[in-house]
Chain A
Amino acid sequence: MTLWLMAGLLFTPLAWAVLTLLTDFSRGRLVTWGGILVQVLVSLGLWLTVARDGGFHYGLGGWQAPLGIELRVDGLAVTFVLLTAVVASACGLHAGVYIDPDKPWHRYFWPLFWFLWSGLNVVWLGGDLFNLYVGLELISLSAVGLVALGGKANALRASLRYLLAALLGSLVYLLGVALMYGQFGTLSIAGVVSWLGVHPVPAGSGLALALMVTGLALKTALFPLHRWLPPAHGIARSPVSALLSALVVKASFYMAARLWLELGEPLGNLAAAQLVGLLGSAAVVWGSWLACRQPQLKQVVAYSSVAQIGYLFLLFPLTYSVSESVSLQAQQGITLQVISHALAKAAMFLAAGNLILSAGSNRVDALTGVSRFLPFSLFSFGLAGVSLMSLPPTGGFAAKWLLLQASLGSGQWWWILVMLIGGLLSAAYVFRIYRASFLESAGPDRFYHPARSLEVIPMILALLALGLGLASDQVLSVMALPFEEGGSP
């Protein structure tokens, strides 16, 4: 059973990529619906299995690590797999209606979409440093392809910037992997950890971790390296932006976080951890500030992503040389932040897409009076915004709460200020959109009304982000599931 679930997870996206490659957009949509169904079922099934039986290692091709590639199927991984299934299917369904089927190049949307999905699954489950690299590239290239789809100059510039950043990030990561392999002679993270368990920490290996984290931070758009993100996320089609912001940046962060959690204690140091935290904080403040100042709706949302990603990097200082419980709180908080940001940001981008579609312009000013005619999408946008503002009962709030507790618990009170200021700034940019939309315009309904299904999808995502806060304990309980070292189906 598990075997089939794994197969479904790893290979159906690839298979669907091929299938959709051979069809045009409309048929691709039909095929995709089927694929989404399969993916959601499989992800759910795996999640349930893990929730019931605990996690396990899965060796591909019958080869165990270190010889072969071993996947690590634990609670966190399957949670993200499920998250991906939810968000990606929402984006897929939305895109099926949103994207104009008559443009010939849109047929390539589906294969890229499915490759992206498969790449994500690779990253969530990956336990092998090099395999993760390939997964990352899979994600990056398909994401670049999606951004560039349609090929206008602006989109091309954005995607080129994105591509170069992604490639550089991957290379730096790969350099780290090279050093790692040189040092430890294995590519499996678990192998490295167990090696470190019996040997003293070797000198010079800190750079490997630093390189890997730096590369990943670049791909995650951590503060000074964030400049590629807003153009790319802002200019892509809304469902694509949603995918990018919700999942793609999370993939690289997820890898960085895993590396840090497994190897940070032996290989990292306090200054680095604080530095990363500081950069994250700077991202929170700077990103939010810029988001407040963007004239274009999707740029606002994109800069908001920069800010929200900043929170994620608080994981580094909050888990380095702190007590077990604080570290756990921080991990839980970051996990929730990832999930809730994924849901909320996807909802936000999709809703923003609807708003742009109906207002006929990307500018914030153009939204004047939209609240009167498009309350549903606006409401979804707002609900998602609530989660970004980390107000209760959203997942964003639960996340922030845990991070606050972790900061207090570890005595690093300065992060608290960051979180509070960040929350307020995010409120500022969210309310800026509200403000524009609530402004009464004298004119009659001049808005295009998108299809109902377009409006429903972001709402569902936003509600999920909202409900996450209420159910966060249950969600997080998966993380604490037993993990059978070396266990295999």
Chain B
Amino acid sequence: MIRTLRILAITLACVAFTGMLATSIWTIAGNSDPGNLPQLLSENLDRSGVEHPVTAVLLNFRSYDTLLEIGVLVIAGIAGISMAKTASLEDPQLRTADSLLYALQRWFVPLMLVLAGYLLWAGADRPGGAFQAGAVLAATGVLLRLGGVPMEFLRPGLLLRLGLALGFTVFLLVAVASAIAGDAFLAYPPGMTKTLIVVIESVLTLSIAMVLLALFVSAPVNDAEDPEEGSSS
């Protein structure tokens, strides 16, 4: 009874919410003021160093957002690996004897690496960029991991942490360096914009992949025994 009432109430609330939202969207779409932001953006696209407006917004106009976004990723990574076991990642059960998976690994991993590289490069003038590349890279890692490749660097150690921090650090350094050069923060020195963005994108790709992979690894598998950690303080 209560359950029914509850579901009824929730449903009603959600429907009302949706309705209100839709009405609001409808109204706004009807009377919205076409802002001048896109024009402004295309006017300034030249100065941004990349051709693709989205990437320009991400890595130049609103690069601060991106910096923080990477920060969020790093945080998630840190919080994740703080949960991770310290024991060896060498888990015999994981190593698969499945030949199909093995073959898949053999064929797909290089392909995916190339794809990641392409996505990264393409971000300058087409949809794509560091995140997409990083995601693909991480997927590669997941594949490897599922195939039983130990990937020692994913053990919570300095290496992992360095990896996590790399992209972020470089981004940060660039931001500060530009200020040392006398410009505003996160302002790229004229002429070097393109180069710097590419550098940033590449390290970011690495870091993003690292974070996602670390998070994947951090989650305990279903029936792993975990007697010691967390149960005592």
- B-binding residues in A (CB < 8 A): 3-4, 6-7, 10-11, 14-15, 17-18, 21-22, 59-63, 66-69, 100, 103-105, 108, 111-112, 115, 118-119, 122, 130-131, 134-135, 137-138, 141-142, 144-145, 148-153, 175, 179, 182-186, 195, 199, 202-205, 207-208
Contact = CB atoms under 8 A, between A and B. Distances in A.
8 contacts: A21-B74, A63-B61, A67-B40, A115-B78, A152-B230, A152-B231, A153-B230, A185-B36
B165 interface: yes
Contacts of A62: 183-184, 186-187
Interface string B14-48: 00000011011111110111111100110010000
Nearest to A142: B75
Interface in B29-86: 29, 31-37, 40-41, 44, 60-65, 67-69, 71-72, 74-76, 78-79, 81-83, 86
Interface string B118-160: 0000000000000000000000000000000000000010100
A145 B41 contact: no
Nearest to B175: A11
A119 B36 CA distance: 30
Nearest to B166: A18
A122 B64 CA distance: 10
A61 B81 contact: no
A138 B165 contact: no
A52 B69 CA distance: 34
A203 B25 CA distance: 11
Given A66-B40, A199-B33, A118 B185 contact: no
- What interface size band does chain B fall in? 35 or more
Given A17-B71, A68-B62, A108-B82, A182 B176 contact: no
B172 interface: yes
Nearest to B56: A67
A103 B74 CA distance: 21
A118 B82 CA distance: 20
Nearest to A180: B28
Given A138-B75, A195-B33, A145 B82 contact: yes
A132 B29 CA distance: 24
Interface of B: 20-21, 23-29, 31-37, 40-41, 44, 60-65, 67-69, 71-72, 74-76, 78-79, 81-83, 86, 156, 158, 161-162, 164-165, 168-169, 172, 175-176, 179, 183-188, 229-231, 233
Given A21-B161, A122-B68, A179-B24, 8 more contacts: A6-B185, A108-B79, A118-B71, A142-B79, A145-B78, A152-B231, A182-B29, A207-B20
B61 A148 contact: no
A10 B17 CA distance: 37
A103 B27 CA distance: 56
Instruction: Sort A-B residue pairs by CB-CB distance and give the 3 closest, nearest first.
Output: A185-B35, A145-B79, A204-B27
Contacts of A179: 24-25, 28
B40 to A, nearest CB: 5
A7 B75 CA distance: 21
A138 B73 CA distance: 9
Nearest to A206: B24
Contacts of B41: 67
A12 B172 CA distance: 10
B79 A141 contact: yes
A182 B32 contact: yes
Contacts of B44: 63, 67
Given A18-B168, A61-B184, A183-B32, A115 B82 contact: no
A138 B183 contact: no
A272 to B, nearest CB: 13
Contact of B72 (A11, A66, A69, A141): A141
Nearest to A4: B179
A103 B228 CA distance: 12
A151 B83 contact: yes
Contacts of A119: 68, 71
Contacts of A68: 61-62
